[in-house]
Structure 1
Amino acid sequence: MVDQNLDQSTSPDEQAALLANADPSLTDSQDVAKALNVDPARGLSSEEAARRLEKFGPNQLAGAPPVPKWKKFLQQFQDPLVYLLLAATGISLVAWFIERANAQPGAEGGEALPFDAIVIVLILIVNAVLGYIQEARAEQAVDALARMTAPQTSVLRDDKVERIDTSQIVPGDILVLAEGDSVSADGRLFAAASLRIAEASLTGESVAVGKKPETLAEAKALGDRANMVFNGTSVTQGTGRAIVTGTGMSTQVGKIADMLSQTEDEATPLQKEMIRVSKILGIAVCIIAVVVLAALAILEGFHSVHDIIDSLLLSVSLAVAAVPEGLAAILTVVLALGVQRMAQHNAIVKKLSSVETLGSASVICSDKTGTLTRNEMTVERVVTASGEVQITGTGYEPSGHMVAPNADEQGEVHVPTNIRTEVIATLGAGALANDGELRQDAEGMWESVGDPTEVSLIVAARKTKADRSHAHFTRVAEVPFTSERKRMSIIAKDESDAGNLSVFAKGAPDVLLSYCTRILVNDAVRPMTEGDRQSILASVERLSNEAYRTLGQAYRPLEVNSLAQIPGIMSNAAGQVTDIADQSETIESDLIWAGMVGIIDPPRTEVRDSVAESHRAGIRTVMITGDHPLTAARIATDLGIIDKGGKALTGDQLDALTDKDAFDKATSEVSVYARVAPEHKLRIVESLQRQGNIVAMTGDGVNDAPAVKSADIGVAMGITGTEVTKESAKMILADDNFSTIVAAVREGRGIFDNIRKFLRYLLSSNVGEVFTVFFGVVLAGFLGITQPGTVGVTVPLLATQLLWINLLTDAAPALAMGVDPQTDDVMNRKPRGVNDRVIDREMWGDIIFIGIIMAVVTLIGMDLHLAGGLFTDRSVEAIGHEAQMVEARTMGFTILVFAQMFNALSSRSHLQSVFVGLFSNKWLWGAIGLSTLLQVVVIYVPFLNEAFGTTPLPGWAWLECIDLALFVLIASELRKVVLRAMAKNKA
């Protein structure tokens, strides 16, 4: 025993130093206990555990430092579009101050307040608030996933075993491990009984590793440290106790997490495109502003400071007209709505910008176990001396029965009695020689405890009622399974036969067969012949080629009722039997072969349709697994990933491809990879990306994290995934299902289509505003905007009017288009290429064409109400030039609003007529109605007349506005007719 008083003599820092300078696997467990001042028989005291928790911190991985809320809010302003508006605000403020400073004493000094600047700033703040709220909601969804389960661990404290939150574990705690437990910290074993731990999440090894407490003679790789347990792994068999040597970031998992934190995330295609569009708009605005200012200087000249001020205001007008102020907020809201819809379908996207990337995926790399398959090992075949049967039903629900091979569900009656007897004997032996457990939770769901392979035998026994025929047996001793023995045996007492004992065994068929001398045939036992052995081995090979994992079952009645009476068993002087596990050769001799089972992890029934859908969408599905090549090829064939006869490429074969070009050629052709290591997954992802693919990569274990992070769309498993992998991923599957990925891709494509719709709408509308201002200034004299003798610059539309149009038309209609129903089958076309533009040449054609039509009809409408125009020659003396200009601006203002409403209807498709599904989007019609109502308010409310420079219009003027604006819809429809004809001819 360790003296608990040592707690006061060695500080936690000294304890940490002791462990840092020594490899626990090379140190005797008692020395590790002394270094950590703990008695392995009693554990830490609650007081000491609390002190260490305060010193070492909680047992959890360190995430990125939390970003302060104020900084998150300010990040919403880090956008080129926002920078343009801030520049416009600055110009507006400068112009307002100059105008106020140069106002004549006693005269009206322009606007009392800088309305332009105030409105722009308000819009920026609203955008920032919307973005902040939506990002916060996405983060809350991820946090909610993390809280779905509250992990707990059994530890020994105060001389008793208790369950505590995993985060409360400290160095020196004694972990109490049992089947089904997750290991929640690194530790040095000091006791173990048949302990096997699945370390695939850390090392990639698919087979559970046997653990022993003996000190290692030399340093070994992580996967070979048999006396250590590691955070993030799970116990599949046996029991054990370990001294915690590392928690949190000091664990092996923590070291990997720390390395991953050094990499930076790359911008998504949509983010890159928005930056590009913003730059184009900024450059275009600057060029247009320079051209207009140069034209004004040449044609009219600057005669006073007021001309300079008016020119600066014109620059503001151009900036306001060019920049879709609501774009950032609309993008955020549309992406957030998509995230919420995905969350309802078990796909939790951590970053809004990743939604669009999902729709661009061209390759989905998926693990097999749990994602493409159910992760529920199932006995499908039973082969005995007299024949073979199939066991129906999949998963852990004990619902099914035995049928003849290739029979329908009603084929049970065709199974002969002799085969049925042999099958029941086989499954009964497998269910007894078993450490697994099948149980039903409070909600009626079946769950397994222990090794999934062992649980599959219990399920099969229940399906065939073999468990009932063997229910009278009670286990009295066990010879455990080890990787060296490859078999397990138990001795059970038959309560129905005077307590006589029998041996039941299971194991690798070729190994177990060597211990069998007899065979069960037709409900009778006879000596086993060489022909029997060859037949059994041929069946093993046949099932293995069909990707089944095979297990043999055997038994032997001992015809005694106590262990001491078994012939050959050694006892001590008191007649007590020594460790039965050391006498396996005696116990497992002269066995009777009952039969063998074929076990497989069945594919998810819904995945095949999802794979077919992804192929139809031009998305390649790739399986990457650590499983056997035959198993991988079988599952891939069943799911339609590869054709029958397709092969899997192994990790060794990938290692042989040292040339990069050869490796890329292999990954371009092969869709199934087996027996791969973590570094292979990363190389495959990088190779696919070099070929121009946008790659989605699934992962659950820590070893998957580098590949998941490197992929364009890293996808972590929500149920089986480790914390490190979830941190690395951009999306988390709450149900670990491949079909959820495909559904998310479909949603991502729909969102991308809607983004293109409102981008087409927003940019064409804003280009229309720019052209209106540009041509209105350049052609001011021809249109009557500038009257003879007028001094100074007269702009066709005011900056506040342009800003109102953007508020009115950019917000509600564009947002409604962001939730537009799909106009076609988004999964019936190939994914867009990695170099394809979000706004391509065709869309730019739509944008410029509609922009020109908008500008033309708007300026015509203004011209009709001005003296000296091209289409009318109204008398300026009637109401005065100023009043006439206000009326003309109100007309142009209103025409532009209606033109953009018609443009919203037309922009829903590049080719499809506006009349197809015209009323399918009720939100859009609601937005059009709201925008129209607000425009009416601006025209007829007196104080808004003053703020926006408008005047009430007569009824006939509204008809004129609608008629002129309708030309936008007509022109768009005519253009679509031509484009459809061209597309048809090309096809």
Structure 2
Amino acid sequence: MNTNINENKEELVDSKTLSLDQEWYKLSNKKICSVLETNPETGLTDREAKIRLEKYGRNNLPKSKKPNWFVIFLKSFLDPLSLIMILSGLVSGLVAITSQKIETVDITGLVIISIIVLTNSIIATVQEVKSLNQVAHLNENKQTAIVLRNSKKTEIDIEELVPGDIIFVNSGGFVPADTRIIDNQLLKIDESALTGENEPVKKISDSIKEQNLMLGDQKNIAFMSTLVLEGKMMGVIFGTGQDSEIGKIATKISSHKPEKTPLERKVTHLTATIGLASIILGLILFLTSFFLLTDENSKTIKELLVISVSAAISLIPESLTIIVKICLMVATKKMAKKNVIIKNPKSIETLGNVNVICSDKTGTLTQNKMTVDKIFIDFKEMDYKDFEKNKYKELINCITLCSDAIVEKEKIGSATEIATIDFIKKFEIDYKKMRLIHERFDEIPFDSKRKLMTTLNEVESRKMVYVKGAVDYLLDICTNKLINGKITPLTQEDKQIIQDQLYSFAKRGLRVLGFSQKDITENKEKYESNLTFLGCVAIIDPPREEVKASIEEAKKGGIRVIMITGDHKITAFEIASRLGIADNNFDGVLTGQDINELSNEQLKERLKRTNVFARVNPEHKALIVELLQEENNIVAMTGDGVNDSPSLVKADIGISMGITGTEVAKGVSDVILADDNFKSIISGVNSGRNVYEKIKYSISFLIAANISQILTLLLILIINKDIALNSVNILFHIFIIETIVAVPIGMQKERRGVMKNPPPTHKRESLLKGITLQIIITTLFNTLFAVLNYEIAILWFGSDAKEFAKTGVYIAIMFSPIFYSLLYNNFFLPIKTTKDLKEIDKYRPNKWLLILMLVAFITTTLTLIPIETINEFFDFKTKGLNPILAIIFFINSLLPTVCIYLTYKLILKFI
């Protein structure tokens, strides 16, 4: 095509839509440029590109619309607990309006409830907006591409690429859109993000005539988001944005509607239970007071109704929503510092309850960096740390000079070559300087048939041939060996020793590269013959140093770690063995082929004793997750590629990689690892378990405090035919205990021993499971001593001193929870099972709890000032109260905490 044809296309492009529905791999280079109306020598003009950008859209993947903060704020009022609180407030306000005596009292209650609901919504909104911003921050880095426009190479934002653009991608670069390769030099591409295959794909520029090729077989196509490992390419773009292969998958997945998290389901169930219980108890209290109280009590039906409604409201843990949101907000912030980005804060609890983690190998469990691990030289194996650079100069020369790898900030070359140069750099060898000193005169590039690379260099005034490559091929052209600096003939016995060593390396999942040399006297001498074998290096992508300890911690916490990889089974098992994933309790490795040959029931049985899966495809991953879930496991799945998206969606918690992860994987996941490190997952689980523990403790604390209040009212009503608390007392209890005392629980420091607790046995486990005994014990002692205060006052002053008796009840229900909450700091009451009570943390002061306890104590104490107006407002009497009786009241407020402590110590003694 010539330039004139291209320049006269502007009107044509305006009126004609390009035919993009093609089997692009079948078209010749000339044909594809014709179809896309472009020229490989000049590219598109800026005007053409602008028109096509408007027609075909920007080159980006579909993203879920970021909700407006005001919409998030309004949705927060639809929380089940918030709805019950709003309804309770409306009922309370309605009763107040129709009452003749206590309008102000109940309007105050309505105001208190409104403040709590509003605070809930503000916290929820701030938390969700922060989470959305953190995720957006991961994707805000702009990517650019080199494109031919107006006959000049220029760098533009990849979002501005259009069909027909001519692009250039070098080693280490990502392919910005689906591209037909029209020219390349030794091009190899990593397509694992799309296909799941870890082996680099060698690409070509010629057309392919076969029919219905799978994506992995389209060797002349470079797909969006794949990585150029070696070589460079020139190509013409035919698919951008949603029209790319990755874009098509992303569009399908974006329609997926997330289900409620386990935490949301549990809170909804708990809310319904408590809501029903509050109605029943409120009704019981009203009917009991109605039938027991006579006209002499001067209580109208409306007053009894106000008190009953207030009592029913008090049973609802109004601050639970705030506590949950604070717990999640604090945890989200802490987890972000640990490189765990939470997209939906409610997923934190799910992460904490995970009992199976299905993890990819490369980059998550390993360093994603090929590294020299072992060396075979002088016919003996050694660790790379024992290598002596002064003793083995010949091997260093061969590694350095027979290589094109560049290892600086930007690394260029194959992973194997880069690993060998990284290796010699550890010994402070300047490979660049060596290459300058020892000039290269000739070379034979590596190719897949020979599996060798050869160079001719000048070393110490001699012409040296260096050859590296697959050891099997190398041995066929070697006749000598170098041992301890001496060259001797390479015998068949020697070759067998080398083959045995290769087998040993292969069993350990190591990739081997051999090296040889010879000096030549004539330039015409054949390079690749009569070589001297120098040795070989064994390379592996090593495990991350910190991962083994993290896996051990996971095991102690009842979490099973499963490796699922597309890598070879031997390599997978070697890494799994090093990390402790594959141990004596589990069978070896199941491959994708094995899975295909098993029924679902057979695979389910094998899943019980297999921890390593190799050579699997995306369908296998999703199936493994599904079968694990059928056994009531809570499953986390890691992934980074588009092909991982189905399993990320299927899992209870999907975890994508922040560094290597594709936008599609990040979009469908619940959690993003900013550092791609397995250790961060365990840190996230630890935080999740702490959140779950705090939430359950909060529920225990609030329910016990609230039930104690209602039971105290009922018992005194039945025993003494008196209402010991009025609506002001009840609503003030809500304000102090649920707002000031309970809220700091969410700010409590993380407990160190939480990973020693087992995860829940079922994903639908009730939030009340494991804390029922704690609620009963706390309620029992709180109620007992509150009633005791009333009875002591009656015994002390007689039945006419009911105002003093009510003072005792008020002191008990207000101060007992305050004292008990302080117990949380130095004697954390484990709430999973009674067995966990043996795990007692040392004192870990929570400054917010201490400060707010002091505020609550002072505020409550001020209500006891012997001023008649205050006494009338709260319906008790402190003026004239006997000091000894007052001391008894306060002692009885402290005794529930002491009794709870002693009861748990007693439980510890007998379990």
The secondary structure found in structure 2 opposite 1:504 is strand
Name the structure 2 match of 1:901: 818
Match among 376, 387, 393 for residue 402 of structure 1: 387
Q: In structure 2, do the counterparts of structure 1 residues 841 and 595 end up closer, same or farther at CA, with 3 Å as the change threshold?
A: closer
Task: Give distance in 1, aligned partners of 2:612 and 2:692.
Answer: 30
Where does the alignment leave 5 or more consecutive residues of structure 2 unmatched? Answer: none
**Residue 432 of structure 1 pairs with residue 401 of structure 2:** yes
Name the structure 2 match of 1:679: 619
Q: In structure 2, do the counterparts of structure 1 residues 428 and 834 end up closer, same or farther at CA, with 3 Å as the change threshold?
A: farther
Q: In structure 2, do the counterparts of structure 1 residues 198 and 307 end up closer, same or farther at CA, with 3 Å as the change threshold?
A: same
Task: Give distance in 2, aligned partners of 1:448 and 1:962.
Answer: 72
Task: Give distance in 2, aligned partners of 1:282 and 1:724.
Answer: 41
Contact 1:654 1:663 in 2 (8 A): no
Q: Structure 1, residues 363-414: CA drift from partner, whole Å, max 9, x if none?
A: 222222122221221122333464444322xxxxxxxx615xxxxxxxx8xx
Name the structure 2 match of 1:119: 112
**Residue 873 of structure 1 pairs with residue 798 of structure 2:** yes
Name the structure 2 match of 1:790: none
Name the structure 2 match of 1:576: none
Q: In structure 2, do the counterparts of structure 1 residues 112 and 632 end up closer, same or farther at CA, with 3 Å as the change threshold?
A: closer
Deviation, structure 1 residue 542? 2.1
Task: Give distance in 2, aligned partners of 1:477 and 1:14.
Answer: 52
Task: Give distance in 1, aligned partners of 2:41 and 2:588.
Answer: 50
Name the structure 2 match of 1:834: 762
Q: In structure 2, do the counterparts of structure 1 residues 50 and 301 end up closer, same or farther at CA, with 3 Å as the change threshold?
A: farther
Match among 531, 534, 555 for residue 615 of structure 1: 555
The secondary structure found in structure 2 opposite 1:111 is helix
Task: Give distance in 2, aligned partners of 1:36 and 1:915.
Answer: 70
**Residue 966 of structure 1 pairs with residue 890 of structure 2:** no
Q: Structure 1, residues 935-959: CA drift from partner, whole Å, max 9, x if none?
A: 2344559987787667765673753
Q: Structure 1, residues 591-620: CA drift from partner, whole Å, max 9, x if none?
A: 554332211112222222222222222222
Name the structure 1 match of 2:164: 172
**Residue 449 of structure 1 pairs with residue 417 of structure 2:** no
Deviation, structure 1 residue 716? 1.4
Contact 1:629 1:648 in 2 (8 A): no
Task: Give distance in 2, aligned partners of 1:194 and 1:184.
Answer: 19
Match among 720, 731, 745 for residue 660 of structure 2: 720
Larger mean CA deviation between 307-316 and 222-231 belongs to 307-316
The secondary structure found in structure 2 opposite 1:172 is coil
Name the structure 2 match of 1:604: 544
Name the structure 1 match of 2:857: 932
The secondary structure found in structure 1 opposite 2:756 is coil
Q: Structure 1, residues 324-348: CA drift from partner, whole Å, max 9, x if none?
A: 1111111111121112112212222
Larger mean CA deviation between 799-808 and 469-478 belongs to 469-478
Match among 537, 541, 551 for residue 499 of structure 2: 537
Q: In structure 2, do the counterparts of structure 1 residues 278 and 228 end up closer, same or farther at CA, with 3 Å as the change threshold?
A: same
Deviation, structure 1 residue 750? 2.5
Contact 2:457 2:465 in 1 (8 A): no
Task: Give distance in 2, aligned partners of 1:157 and 1:559.
Answer: 51
Task: Give distance in 1, aligned partners of 2:855 and 2:328.
Answer: 23
Match among 522, 527, 535 for residue 595 of structure 1: 535
**Residue 846 of structure 1 pairs with residue 780 of structure 2:** no
Match among 424, 441, 466 for residue 461 of structure 1: 424
Deviation, structure 1 residue 478? 4.9
Q: Structure 1, residues 182-205: CA drift from partner, whole Å, max 9, x if none?
A: 112111111111000011111111
Task: Give distance in 2, aligned partners of 1:109 and 1:201.
Answer: 68
Q: In structure 2, do the counterparts of structure 1 residues 449 and 862 end up closer, same or farther at CA, with 3 Å as the change threshold?
A: farther
Deviation, structure 1 residue 691? 2.1
Q: Structure 1, residues 130-154: CA drift from partner, whole Å, max 9, x if none?
A: 111112222222222223x433322
Task: Give distance in 2, aligned partners of 1:266 and 1:959.
Answer: 54
Name the structure 1 match of 2:332: 339
After TM superposition, the score normalised by the length of structure 2 is 0.90
Deviation, structure 1 residue 161? 2.5
Task: Give distance in 2, aligned partners of 1:947 and 1:52.
Answer: 75
The secondary structure found in structure 2 opposite 1:665 is helix
Deviation, structure 1 residue 302? 11
Deviation, structure 1 residue 530? 3.9
Q: In the TM superposition, what are the counterparts of 1:285-434 in structure 2 within 5 Å?
A: 285-299=278-292, 307-384=300-377, 386-392=379-385, 402=387, 420-421=391-392, 424-434=393-403
Where does the alignment leave 5 or more consecutive residues of structure 1 unmatched? Answer: 393-400, 404-411, 442-446, 568-585, 786-794, 877-883
**Residue 489 of structure 1 pairs with residue 453 of structure 2:** yes
Name the structure 2 match of 1:183: 175
> One-letter code of the match for 1:33?
C
Name the structure 2 match of 1:805: 733
Contact 1:348 1:734 in 2 (8 A): yes
Contact 2:440 2:458 in 1 (8 A): no
Deviation, structure 1 residue 283? 1.2
Q: In structure 2, do the counterparts of structure 1 residues 898 and 305 end up closer, same or farther at CA, with 3 Å as the change threshold?
A: closer
Deviation, structure 1 residue 245? 1.3
Contact 1:905 1:914 in 2 (8 A): no
> One-letter code of the match for 2:451?
R
Deviation, structure 1 residue 362? 1.5
Contact 2:44 2:150 in 1 (8 A): yes
Task: Give distance in 2, aligned partners of 1:11 and 1:697.
Answer: 46
Task: Give distance in 2, aligned partners of 1:631 and 1:913.
Answer: 42
Q: In structure 2, do the counterparts of structure 1 residues 140 and 110 end up closer, same or farther at CA, with 3 Å as the change threshold?
A: closer
Q: Structure 1, residues 94-117: CA drift from partner, whole Å, max 9, x if none?
A: 223333xxx5xxxx7843983322
Larger mean CA deviation between 517-526 and 717-726 belongs to 517-526
**Residue 226 of structure 1 pairs with residue 190 of structure 2:** no
Task: Give distance in 1, aligned partners of 2:708 and 2:732.
Answer: 15
**Residue 783 of structure 1 pairs with residue 720 of structure 2:** yes
Task: Give distance in 2, aligned partners of 1:305 and 1:784.
Answer: 13
After TM superposition, the score normalised by the length of structure 1 is 0.84
**Residue 210 of structure 1 pairs with residue 202 of structure 2:** yes
Alignment length (residue pairs): 895
Q: In structure 2, do the counterparts of structure 1 residues 11 and 763 end up closer, same or farther at CA, with 3 Å as the change threshold?
A: farther
Percent identity, aligned pairs only, is 29
Name the structure 2 match of 1:745: 685
> One-letter code of the match for 1:741?
I
> One-letter code of the match for 1:770?
I
The secondary structure found in structure 1 opposite 2:498 is helix
Contact 1:906 1:913 in 2 (8 A): no
Deviation, structure 1 residue 925? 2.2
The secondary structure found in structure 1 opposite 2:755 is coil
The secondary structure found in structure 2 opposite 1:825 is helix
Match among 201, 204, 207 for residue 193 of structure 2: 201
Name the structure 1 match of 2:6: 4
Q: In structure 2, do the counterparts of structure 1 residues 229 and 915 end up closer, same or farther at CA, with 3 Å as the change threshold?
A: closer
Deviation, structure 1 residue 308? 4.5
Q: Structure 1, residues 476-533: CA drift from partner, whole Å, max 9, x if none?
A: 5554444x426242444528648x5x55333222233334455555656666544444
Q: In structure 2, do the counterparts of structure 1 residues 807 and 449 end up closer, same or farther at CA, with 3 Å as the change threshold?
A: farther
Q: In the TM superposition, what are the counterparts of 1:441-840 in structure 2 within 5 Å?
A: 441=409, 448-463=411-426, 465=429, 467=431, 471-475=436-440, 478-482=443-447, 484-485=448-449, 487-494=451-458, 497=461, 503-516=465-478, 519-520=481-482, 523=485, 528-555=490-517, 557=519, 559=521, 566=524, 588=528, 591-643=531-583, 648-776=588-716, 778-779=717-718, 782-783=719-720, 785=722, 795-821=723-749, 825-834=753-762, 837=765, 839-840=767-768
Match among 123, 130, 137 for residue 144 of structure 1: 137
Deviation, structure 1 residue 732? 1.6
Deviation, structure 1 residue 913? 11
Q: In structure 2, do the counterparts of structure 1 residues 461 and 19 end up closer, same or farther at CA, with 3 Å as the change threshold?
A: same
Deviation, structure 1 residue 824? 6.1
Task: Give distance in 1, aligned partners of 2:764 and 2:82.
Answer: 25
Larger mean CA deviation between 835-844 and 191-200 belongs to 835-844
Task: Give distance in 2, aligned partners of 1:378 and 1:156.
Answer: 37
Contact 1:938 1:950 in 2 (8 A): no
